[in-house]
Structure 1
Amino acid sequence: MKTELVTTLKRQATRIIDDLRTDRAPIMITQHGKPAAYLVDVDTYEAKEKRMEILEGLARGEKAFSEGRVLSHREAKRKMSRWLK
């Protein structure tokens, strides 16, 4: 992973963003010698957000299952019928 100073980002934002689009590797931005932020390309960010949505949905489903909040196939199909038309 590449690391850039926040002052370098301020001075060379266009070059850094161009490199990011090409390499698609996250860049750690440091401020006062400490990590302050990560810079990622749009496609990578959106893919990670989608992955998180899926994982959160799975976690909610596992929790509902462990709490006994389950439906039969017929009940689920009936409840989902308005979206399945």
Structure 2
Amino acid sequence: MKVELVTTLKRQATKILADLHASKEPVLITEHGQPSAYLVDVDDYELMKKRMAILEGIARGEKAISEDRTFSHEQAQEKMAKWLK
């Protein structure tokens, strides 16, 4: 992963963004030697958001199973039938 100082980002933003778009490699921005932010390509960011939403849905489903908040196939069909009327 590429690492850049925030001052370098300020001075060379166009070049850093061009490199980012070409390589698709995230850029870690540091301030005072400490990680501050990541620059990521827009398409990669959108993909990460979609993946996170899927993982959150899986986690909710696993929690529902562990709390015994599930429906049988027949119960689910009945509920869906009411919604589709």
Task: Indicate whether the TM-score tops 0.5.
Answer: yes
Normalising to structure 1: TM-score of the pair?
0.90
CA root-mean-square deviation: 1.6
Which residue in the other structure is 2:64 paired with? Answer: 64
Extract structure 1 runs of 4+ deviating beyond 3 A: 80-83
Sequence identity of aligned pairs in percent? 63
Alignment: residue pair count: 84
Distance 1:80 1:19 in 2: 50
Deviation at 1:74? 2.2
Query: Normalised by the size of structure 2, how large is the TM-score?
Result: 0.90
Q: Displacement, 1:76?
A: 1.6
Unaligned runs of 5+ in 2: none
Partner Cα distance (1:77, 1:2) in 2? 51
Going from structure 1 to structure 2, the CA distance change for 1:80 and 1:42 (only over 3 Å counts) comes to: farther
Structure 1 unaligned runs (5+)?
none
Post-superposition CA distance 1:19-67 (Å, at most 9, x none): 1011000100011111111110011111111111000000000100111
